[in-house]
Structure formats: C-alpha cells, structure tokens
C-alpha cells in the first residue's frame, strides 16, 4: 500500500507556517484586550492580528522568517526512520518551492544558501520509539530573531537590576525575568518562553525548546514548577516591555519550565525565547498508511475564528497623525521627524540585511542610495511570469547590522533605515550626524507588509540568495514608527531604562 507520509508532512508544514495554533491565538487575544486603544502596542497588535488573518486567507507564511524546522517524532518499533527522514526532507523541499517556507539554510563557512532548506543540521529531526502502532509528528518553526534572544545562565551569577541569582528557584525566577528584559522587542514580543533548569549546556537548551511543545494554557504537573510559571506570568507583564518593545501592558504570553538533573558543579538555566509568531502544530498518523488520523493543538473541524472582528476593517488604522514619506528623502524632512511619529512610506524601498551590509562595507552600492529607505528584510519571493512577487516581507532584527550601519549611513546617504527591535549607540550617533532616522516596523507582520508592496522593480546581488539579495520594491503606505530620530532620541533606550527600573522592583 502506498504511504501518504510525504503528503501528511507537506500538509503539516504548510498549516504550521500559515495558521497560528488556537492556544497562541487565545493568548494574543488576551494581549489585545489588555492594551489600551491607540497606544503603540495596541496599534502593533492590530497589525499582527490582521497579518494572522491574512496568512490564513492566502495560505501564506505568517512571518517571512519561517524559521528552523524542528520535528519531534514518535514512531512504532521497527518503523523505517531513514525513509521517514527522507520523506520529511522531500516535503521540506516542496514546501520551499511552494513559498510556504523561505530558503533558510545557509552554509556557515561560505554563506551560500542551499535554496531548498536542506543542509547539514537542517531540518532538525528527533526520533524516539514508543509502544504504539501510530506515528506522532510535532513541528516547531522558530525564527532567527527569537532564536538570537535565547540565553543561558550559569548560577550563581550577578544580573543587572536583579542582583545575585543563587542556585534556588528564586534564582531561576530572576533569570527568567532577566531573559524577558534583555530580549526587549528584538525577539518580536510578546513572546513565550521555554525554560530548562539544570542539564548540561546542550541538553539544557534542548529541553528548554521542548517546553515550547506544551500548550500555553496547560498546567505543569510538578507543583513547584507550576507555581514558578504562575509567579512569572503574574509579575512579568509589569515590566512594560510591550509589543515589539514599544512599551505596554503585555510582554509575555507564556512561560513553560522543565527540569533536568545536573552535575553538582553546574547549575544552568536555559531559556528558549519564542516570538508571538509561535508556530507549532502536530499530527498523529496511521502507522501503515501515513494518513493523518488527528491533529494536535488544533481541531480542523472547528472553523478558524479571525483575530479581527468582522467589520473591524483591515490594514493599518489611521489616526490622522501620520506623516507621509516619499523617498528619496531630503535631510530637512528627516530631521523634522521625532521619536513616536508614525510614518507611511510610499515609493521606492531597498531591502538589505546581513550579507548586503557586509557587501556595502567593501563595495559601492549597486543602486544610488542617496535619500533612500533601506529595509532590513529578507522576504519570501516567488518568480512568476518572468517577474517577481513578494509573498512575505516583514522586518528582520536590526541590531545585527549595528557594526556596519553608521558607516553605511555616512558613505551612501541613506536617510531612513527600517527594521525591528531597534539599534545601538553607534547607529544612534550616526543618525544624528548625517540626518537620518530608524523606523520600527512590526516584526513578523509579513503578510501585512507584503500587501503594501505594489511591485518589484528589480533585484541586485541575487547571488547572495533570495533572503539576502537587495530587492528594489515599490511600496504604498507602508506604516512604521520613528523609534530613533536624528536628535539623539531612542525609544528603545527609554523602554529598556524604564523596564530596567521596574525589574529592580521585582528583585525580592
């Protein structure tokens, strides 16, 4: 009998990438209800909700960073694991060709993108046997921005704002609070944490990530850990990090803690940070046929309830205070902008992330960047009818470009940088010096921002791979918030300071 295992894996990948699980949706609805109307966090959450609905409607990736595919399998004794892995890899290739996954697997030595999401270590597949005749497959798609916000503490240690963290559950509590504070908006808050107490450096991170396969609303069977999770959730939102680090009432939508035994000399606390685009689903398959018997985390017979109420309207909701920017921008226009201004960009925009920044440090730009808007973005792009169509295009984490950004502003005359999570002191000084701004777009809102792209006018440096190439986009009413201006002000610094002061109040 022909197995449907490949089809089931392709369906699992597609639905996981495009349809947020019900428990995450419920937590995000609670977050939306808690943020007062018209605040920056409320506006960002509305864009996120619109994006989640759009992803379902067009079966497109919720976020352009479709992450590291991590499969956890439980298989009957005697199942052919080599064949299953091959089938999973084939499904990954097909999902990439269909634009459900972005080509995300990069050779760490050469920087070459494999183009099909396969390569050493990609995808991650863990298999264990169980005593049942069916197959269970769980999948987590976790992107780079939140992966970079993971952190591991070795206790005892000194933590900024919190003092000493001892080898106690209170020390663990401090580490978890610190992890949320240090991530700010870089991991696309509000996020969810998987935490492991103990283990070694490797098993600790693995166990922390495995906690993300628990539902956000479950209860830890270990009463001590259940209490710790509940303490975190009842206090962490007082930090005021808010959505995308804009400041606000909700910084975290879940905290799941596990524990492993450790060596007497070691006491690690490993934290796996996942973003609001928390893509995790699973299926139970018929062991013989490979067909889907049931889904985990979702009931396919229950209609997906939209995040935005019917009639609530789609897209960015104007307040009348928005400032229109039409590149190329002049210095006076940009110097007039202040932190907190909301802008709508209409006109040309060029993408550029890690490889483009490294390139521009050694070569002249392939296009004239004077007055330009440079977008930190690695989009999902499909070739169609001899042209290109962007199917997902949210911002990537900007802080990675901190070593280069100020120099690129100085050399080439870029007037606005768009990204997420903010940048550091060197960029802030560069913005002030040349007269430029940093615009924070809403991380993960890949479908929302793809809709603002009217067309692709061209591409440079395609040899760097589609996410890393410089795409020449024409956008219309692309919304973003000025979070770093040309006067030396940074909303990111302000929120980090204020939330740091609140962190101090949670010391005891």
Of 61-69, 103-111, 375-383, 454-462: span binding ligand SF4 (CB under 6 A): 61-69
Q: What is the DSSP letter of 304?
A: P
Token duo for residue 418: 């768009």
Of 33-41, 137-145, 229-237, 447-455: span binding ligand SF4 (CB under 6 A): 137-145
165 pairs with which residues across the strands? 157
Residues 446 and 487: beta-carbon distance below 8 Å: no
Of 60, 143, 240, 413, the one binding ligand SF4 by CB under 6 A: 143
160-to-171, 192, 309, 420, 504 alpha-carbon distances in Å: 13, 22, 42, 24, 9
Give me the helices (H) in 188-294, please. Answer: 201-210, 223-235
Of 145, 378, 413, 479, the one binding ligand SF4 by CB under 6 A: 145
Query: Which is nearer to ligand SF4, 396 or 460 (by Cβ)?
Result: 396
84-to-71, 90, 91, 213 alpha-carbon distances in Å: 11, 10, 10, 21
Place of tokens 């067309």: 455
Query: Which is nearer to ligand SF4, 67 or 194 (by Cβ)?
Result: 67
CA gap 238, 187 in Å, rounded: 18
Q: Does 63 engage in binding with ligand SF4 (CB under 6 A)?
A: yes
The dihedrals phi and psi of 236, each to the nearest 5 degrees, come to -65, -30
Q: Report CA Rg, the chain.
A: 22
Residues 351-380 close enough to bind ligand SF4 by CB under 6 A: none
Q: Does 94 engage in binding with ligand SF4 (CB under 6 A)?
A: no
CA gap 131, 94 in Å, rounded: 31
- The Cβ of residue 282 has, within 10 Å, a number of other Cβ atoms equal to 21
Of 10, 15, 73, 146, the one binding ligand SF4 by CB under 6 A: 146
Q: Does 282 engage in binding with ligand SF4 (CB under 6 A)?
A: no
CA gap 87, 92 in Å, rounded: 9
Of 21, 61, 67, 290, the one binding ligand SF4 by CB under 6 A: 67
**From the CB of 483, what's the least distance to ligand SF4, in Å?**
16
**From the CB of 356, what's the least distance to ligand SF4, in Å?**
17
CA gap 117, 105 in Å, rounded: 5
Query: Which is nearer to ligand SF4, 190 or 413 (by Cβ)?
Result: 190
Rounded to the nearest 10°, the torsion over CA 304, 308, 312, 315 is -110
149-to-128, 184, 273, 399 alpha-carbon distances in Å: 28, 9, 6, 11
Helices then strands (H, E): number in the chain?
Answer: 14, 20
Q: What is the DSSP letter of 306?
A: P
How far is it between the farthest Cα atoms of the chain?
A: 71
Query: Which is nearer to ligand SF4, 88 or 188 (by Cβ)?
Result: 188
Query: Which is nearer to ligand SF4, 290 or 394 (by Cβ)?
Result: 394
Query: Which is nearer to ligand SF4, 188 or 418 (by Cβ)?
Result: 188
Of 28-36, 105-113, 143-151, 358-366: span binding ligand SF4 (CB under 6 A): 143-151
- Of 62, 27, 31, 65, the closest CA to residue 46 belongs to 31
How many chain residues are in contact with ligand SF4, going by CB under 6 A?
A: 15
- Which H, E and C letters describe 318-340, residue by residue? CCCCCEEECCCCCHHHHHCCCCC
Query: Nearest to ligand SF4 by Cβ — which residue?
Result: 143
Residues 379-398 close enough to bind ligand SF4 by CB under 6 A: 394, 396
Query: Which is nearer to ligand SF4, 284 or 423 (by Cβ)?
Result: 423
Q: Does 277 engage in binding with ligand SF4 (CB under 6 A)?
A: yes
CA gap 147, 49 in Å, rounded: 22
Residues 161-190 close enough to bind ligand SF4 by CB under 6 A: 187-188
**From the CB of 375, what's the least distance to ligand SF4, in Å?**
13
**From the CB of 173, what's the least distance to ligand SF4, in Å?**
24
Q: Does 443 engage in binding with ligand SF4 (CB under 6 A)?
A: yes
Of 60-68, 214-222, 290-298, 306-314: span binding ligand SF4 (CB under 6 A): 60-68
**From the CB of 441, what's the least distance to ligand SF4, in Å?**
10
Query: Which is nearer to ligand SF4, 210 or 447 (by Cβ)?
Result: 447
Query: Which is nearer to ligand SF4, 63 or 334 (by Cβ)?
Result: 63
Query: Which is nearer to ligand SF4, 204 or 394 (by Cβ)?
Result: 394
Query: Which is nearer to ligand SF4, 22 or 144 (by Cβ)?
Result: 144
**From the CB of 250, what's the least distance to ligand SF4, in Å?**
15
Would you tell me which residues interact with ligand SF4 (CB under 6 A)?
Answer: 63, 65, 67, 143-146, 187-188, 275, 277, 394, 396, 443-444
């Amino acid at each position: 009998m022909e197995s449907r295992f490949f089809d089931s894996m392709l369906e699992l990948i597609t639905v996981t990438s495009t349809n947020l699980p019900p428990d995450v949706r419920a937590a995000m609805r609670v977050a939306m209800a808690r943020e007062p109307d018209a605040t920056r966090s409320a506006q960002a959450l509305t864009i996120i909700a619109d994006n989640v609905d759009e992803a379902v409607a067009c079966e497109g990736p919720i976020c352009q960073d479709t992450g590291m595919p991590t499969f956890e399998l439980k298989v009957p004794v005697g199942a052919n694991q080599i064949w299953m892995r091959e089938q999973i890899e084939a499904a990954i290739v097909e999902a990439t060709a269909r634009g459900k996954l972005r080509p995300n697997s990069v050779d760490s030595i050469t920087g070459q993108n494999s183009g099909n999401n396969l390569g050493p270590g990609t995808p991650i597949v863990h298999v264990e046997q169980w005593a049942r005749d069916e197959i269970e497959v769980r999948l987590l798609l976790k992107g780079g921005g939140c992966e970079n916000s993971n952190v591991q503490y070795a206790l005892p240690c000194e933590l900024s704002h919190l003092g000493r963290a001892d080898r106690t559950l209170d020390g663990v509590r401090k580490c978890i609070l610190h992890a949320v504070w240090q991530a700010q908006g870089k991991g696309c808050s509000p996020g969810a944490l998987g935490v492991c107490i103990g283990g070694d450096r490797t098993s600790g991170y693995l166990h922390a990530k495995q906690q993300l396969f628990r539902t956000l609303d479950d209860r830890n069977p270990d009463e001590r850990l259940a209490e710790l999770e509940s303490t975190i959730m009842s206090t962490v939102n007082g930090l005021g990090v808010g959505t995308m680090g804009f400041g606000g009432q909700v910084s975290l939508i879940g905290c799941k803690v596990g524990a492993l035994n450790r060596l007497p000399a070691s006491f690690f606390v490993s934290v796996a940070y996942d973003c609001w685009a928390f893509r995790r689903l699973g299926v139970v398959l018929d062991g013989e046929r490979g067909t889907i018997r049931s889904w985990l985390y979702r009931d396919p017979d229950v209609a997906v309830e939209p995040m935005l109420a019917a009639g609530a309207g789609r897209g960015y909701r104007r307040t009348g205070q928005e400032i229109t920017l039409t590149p190329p921008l002049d210095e006076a226009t940009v110097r007039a902008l202040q932190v907190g201004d909301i802008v709508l960009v209409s006109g040309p925009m060029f993408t550029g992330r890690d490889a483009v920044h490294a390139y521009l440090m050694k070569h002249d730009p392939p296009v004239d960047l004077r007055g330009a808007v440079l977008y930190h973005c690695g989009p999902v792009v499909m070739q169609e009818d001899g042209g290109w169509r962007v199917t997902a295009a949210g911002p990537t984490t900007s802080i990675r470009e901190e070593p280069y950004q100020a120099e690129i502003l100085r050399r080439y005359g870029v007037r606005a940088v768009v990204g997420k999570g903010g940048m550091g002191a060197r960029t802030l000084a560069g913005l002030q010096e040349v007269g430029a701004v940093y615009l924070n777009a809403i991380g993960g809102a890949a479908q929302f921002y793809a809709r603002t792209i009217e067309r692709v006018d061209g591409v440079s440096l395609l040899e760097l791979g589609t996410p890393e190439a410089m795409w020449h986009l024409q956008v219309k009413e692309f919304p973003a918030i000025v979070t770093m201006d040309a006067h030396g002000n940074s909303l990111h610094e302000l929120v980090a300071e204020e939330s740091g002061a609140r962190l101090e109040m949670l010391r005891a």
